[in-house]
Structure 1
Amino acid sequence: MAAQPPFAEVPLFPLGTVLYPGGQLQLRIFEPRYLDLVRECTRTGSAFGVCLILEGSEVGVPARPAAIGTLAHIVDFTHREDGLLGIVAEGGDRFRVLRTRARSDGLLRGDVQQWPEETPQEVPVEFALLQTILERLIETMGPQWRHAPKSSFDDAGWVGFRLAELLPLARDEQQQLLEMTDPLQRLTVLRDILPRFQKA
């Protein structure tokens, strides 16, 4: 298959969390470079890239981002009580960062290439326990998914990404699950992780 051409320059937002396709991200925006990012994306209708921070922090000098990230589309704005701008972004396609450069204000921009899309697959019966666990987690921790259609719980990719969001996983585990391109492999890893969370 021919390689996907890189997107035009995408502004990058390194964070201490992983955004998955279809996921939601709420952010407080206060640094001038990220206010510029929001203005740019709002004006052009474009996305920004979210990458897990490997070295550095979310504020100050540019952090070193993971090579695989997720495009984020701004879907809502809020003006917070603390006077800061809040945004809600939704995860889209995944990408690989080919090159990065930092502007004088510290905003990272990158040339990115689309990460391989997954083939939609139904959740096999041997992973039915994961569907049940996800339903319980959503009841207590994922209110944004409470009205998700029942068909979503039959989609192996959707189930895997939502579990990866809601389970208390280490950041490197979250990143590993993001980078997988086989939804059944992701469910296998999640199933093998579950005993860690069982009460003695």
Structure 2
Amino acid sequence: MHDDTSLPLFPLRTVLVPGAALGLRVFEPRYLDLVRECGRRGSGFGICLILDGDESGAPATPAGVGTEARIEDFDTGPDGLLTLRVRGARRFHVRRTRVRDSGLIIADVDWCAADPVIDLQPEHALLGVVLRKILEHIDGADQAFPEPHFDDAAWVGWRLAELLPLEQPHRQQLLQLDDPDERLETLLRLVDVVDDD
């Protein structure tokens, strides 16, 4: 699927999954430029897990699969820094990157296909139960997740990937899987690991 698109990247030490919200503090000139550009164009930017390097300073090496971030809200924090609230949208594969003079990484990306709508299978029913329990313990979950889809394999998988205390490389592994059932199988194995810790 070749949809030739350029996307500015914001590499982080965290993985953004589709549908998840994330708060960001923006202070580096290259990312302030990115936010202005996205605002002007009404477009999103890409968030990729950092494989090598740091969030600030020299351009980091981003993972090859990331998630488009759409800006939902912005404000100025008490420290005067710009704060953003973004939400994960489409997943993408990074084909090539180049670095602007400012240090901003621009990626040529191919969009991943949207998740197929698949019913939650009986062998994954436990994960639906786990997700319900997690949401019962989150204040304001009914506002954060106003339309739960407990019978949708993709939705259950992404919400668990967002909410479980997973290591970032495990979250990245889930992000890279295209099949919702395979994602849930992987989550079942990871939940075992989380339980054993």
Range class of TM-score, shorter chain: over 0.9
For 1:80, the equivalent position in structure 2 comes to 77
Query: Among residues 3, 6, 12, which one is paired with 1:5 in the alignment?
Result: 3
Q: Which moved more, 1:39-48 or 1:189-198?
A: 189-198
Closer, same or farther in 2 for the Cα pair 1:78/1:139, shift >3 Å? farther
**SS state at 2:137 partner:** helix
Contact 2:10 2:47 in 1 (8 A): yes
Alignment of 1:190 onto 2:187: yes
Query: Among residues 126, 130, 146, which one is paired with 2:142 in the alignment?
Result: 146
Query: Among residues 17, 34, 44, which one is paired with 1:47 in the alignment?
Result: 44
Pairwise CA distance, 1:144:
6.0
Alignment of 1:108 onto 2:105: yes
Contact 2:21 2:87 in 1 (8 A): yes
**SS state at 2:149 partner:** helix
The TM-score, its normalising length taken from structure 2, stands at 0.93
Consecutive aligned runs of 4 or more in structure 1 exceeding 2 Å deviation: 138-141, 143-151, 195-200
The residue identity in structure 1 corresponding to 2:159 is R
Contact 2:149 2:156 in 1 (8 A): yes
Alignment of 1:37 onto 2:34: yes
Alignment of 1:181 onto 2:178: yes
Contact 2:68 2:90 in 1 (8 A): yes
Pairwise CA distance, 1:199:
6.4
**SS state at 2:120 partner:** coil
The TM-score, its normalising length taken from structure 1, stands at 0.91
Residue deviations 1:88-114 (CA, integer Å, cap 9, x gap): 111111111111111111111111111
**SS state at 1:186 partner:** helix
Whole-Å Cα distance in 1 between the matches of residues 163 and 109 of structure 2? 27
Contact 2:166 2:194 in 1 (8 A): no
Unaligned runs of 5+ in 1: none
The residue identity in structure 1 corresponding to 2:4 is P
Aligned-residue identity in percent: 48
Pairwise CA distance, 1:10:
1.1
How large is the RMSD of aligned CA atoms in angstroms?
Answer: 1.7
